[in-house]
Amino acid sequence: MGLKESATTSMGDKLTIKQTQKWAKKLAIAQRANNKKRVKAIHAKIKNTRLDLIHKFTTKLVKDNSLIVVGDVKSRSFTTKKTKLAKSTYDAGWFELKRQLEYKCKHAGCQLEMVNESYTTQTCSCCHKISDSSLRVEQVCE
């Protein structure tokens, strides 16, 4: 259970933060040994790895596109319960991803739009009608 990718573009590029999970075992060992210096160093390594991956992803995104549309996802709704989804949501760094996109788009002259994700899977892209039925039923616009 958890997130596979933190972000995916329409071109198929993916931001995968799996590299930070390789430090989880070493972190657990250091925490059990109560080695505070090592725990602090591992947390710093995880943070720096995440920031590096996000910087590289957002830089490529801003260079290749003139318009970037991002869903306005609130990570708090995923983290209310202590689950593996909550852990991977915190590890995904969505706030940092949006923050970097905002300042890089301003600097590069790229347009950034935040979209409310309510009903996005139920709204027809042609007629903008919100469907009440299941997603499994194929609908035809009139």
Domain-embedded: residue 76: yes
Domain-embedded: residue 49: yes
Contact partners, residue 88, CB within 8 Å, separation at least 6: 2, 3
Rounded CA separation 124/115 (Å): 15
Could you list the residue range(s) of the whole structural domain that residue 103 is in?
7-115
Rounded CA separation 49/96 (Å): 13
Domain-embedded: residue 133: no
Provide the pLDDT for residue 141.
66
Provide the pLDDT for residue 78.
63
Tens-digit pLDDT profile for residues 78-136: 666 666 666 666 667 778 888 999 999 999 999 988 887 776 666 676 776 777 666 56
Contacts 24+ apart (CB under 8 A), 80-89: 83/1, 84/1, 84/2, 85/1, 85/2, 85/3, 87/2, 88/2, 88/3, 89/3
Tens-digit pLDDT profile for residues 35-73: 999 999 999 998 898 899 889 999 999 999 889 888 777
**Considering the entire predicted model, what is its pTM?**
0.72
Provide the pLDDT for residue 105.
92
Domain-embedded: residue 122: no
Task: Specify the number of domains making up the chain.
Answer: 1
Domain-embedded: residue 19: yes
Is the C-alpha dihedral spanning 58, 61, 63, 68 positive or negative? negative
Tens-digit pLDDT profile for residues 2-48: 466 777 777 888 877 777 778 888 999 999 999 999 999 999 998 89
Provide the pLDDT for residue 1.
37
